[in-house]
Structure 1
Amino acid sequence: MDIVYAFEPDLSAEEFRDVLVASTLSARRPAKDLGRLERMLRQANIVATARDGAKLVGISRAITDFSYCCYLSDLAVDAAYQRRGIGRRLIEATQAQAGPQTTLILLSAPAAESYYPKIGMKRHESCWIIPRTV
């Protein structure tokens, strides 16, 4: 497996959608709304990718101020490529790009909650949200 990692700020919404579907994260993202996916990509500060040849197999999409905090909004790895360290490498690339002064923040999908402690992330008990209305 020769996975190539890069930063792709111009990633297409179609490729983003395809990896969301392949990872099962599409169940919790607006995968059918390409316009919204496009806006999600264009407004992100960091879009880290993992490719097997031309095929996108993983993505980390984050919003950050590069000074204090970095919200890793989407971490998706094609189910056929999971358990190979791709997610960990994408998180490391995102954190490195955001900078050492930032705290990386991630809200886990329910199915992935047991993954993050295994790679050294710490649980934070006092997270509060105002849910989307649409």
Structure 2
Amino acid sequence: MSIEYKINHPITADQFISLLADSTLGERRPIQDRDCMMGMISNSNLTVSAWDSEKLVGISRCMTDFHYACYLSDLAVSEKYQKLGIGKRLQILTQDQLGPRCKLILIAAPAANSYYEQIGFSNNPRCWVLERDASIHS
């Protein structure tokens, strides 16, 4: 199996949804909301993707200024392709696109904490999240 990595290669909403459904990230993303998923992939300004032929098997999806901060919104690898080094390679290739002072920042699911530590991330307890109350904004 030969995995090909691509920078900012076009990805359809269906490919993105399929990958997330095939990974553990699908449980925590609104994969039933196609418009939201299309917006997530089309408005990212840095994607690094992993392909097995024509099949999307991994993604690093980011929002960044390329100089100071890069928010890694999704790092997903299809379960069938996990433990092959694809996630670590996606992270390295993402960093290669960034300036030398740019930090890679993410919010990890509790089950993924040990993975991120294993590939070189350090834990920072200063993250805050403000959820929107959908009933107020409807």
TM-score by length of 2: 0.92
SS at match of 2:133: coil
What count of residue pairs does the alignment treat as equivalent?
134
Map residues 28-43 of structure 1 onto 2, 5 A cutoff. Answer: 28-43=28-43
Q: In the alignment, is the contact (CA less than 8 A) between 1:9 and 1:46 conserved in 2? A: no
Map residues 15-34 of structure 1 onto 2, 5 A cutoff. Answer: 15-34=15-34
Task: Tell me the equivalent position of 1:92.
Answer: 92
Are 2:106 and 1:102 equivalent residues in the alignment? Answer: no
Kindly report structure 1 stretches of 4+ aligned residues shifted beyond 4 Å: none
SS at match of 1:113: helix
Q: Distance in 2 between matches of 1:8 and 1:65?
A: 15
Q: CA deviation at 1:82?
A: 0.5
Counterpart code for 1:133: D
CA-atom RMSD in angstroms? 1.2
Q: Distance in 1 between matches of 2:68 and 2:6?
A: 23
Q: CA deviation at 1:108?
A: 0.5
Pair member with larger Rg? 2
Q: CA deviation at 1:9?
A: 4.5
Q: Distance in 1 between matches of 2:65 and 2:72?
A: 12
Task: Tell me the equivalent position of 2:64.
Answer: 64
Are 2:7 and 1:4 equivalent residues in the alignment? Answer: no
Q: Distance in 2 between matches of 1:2 and 1:132?
A: 42
Q: Structure 1: 5+ residue runs without aligned partners?
A: none
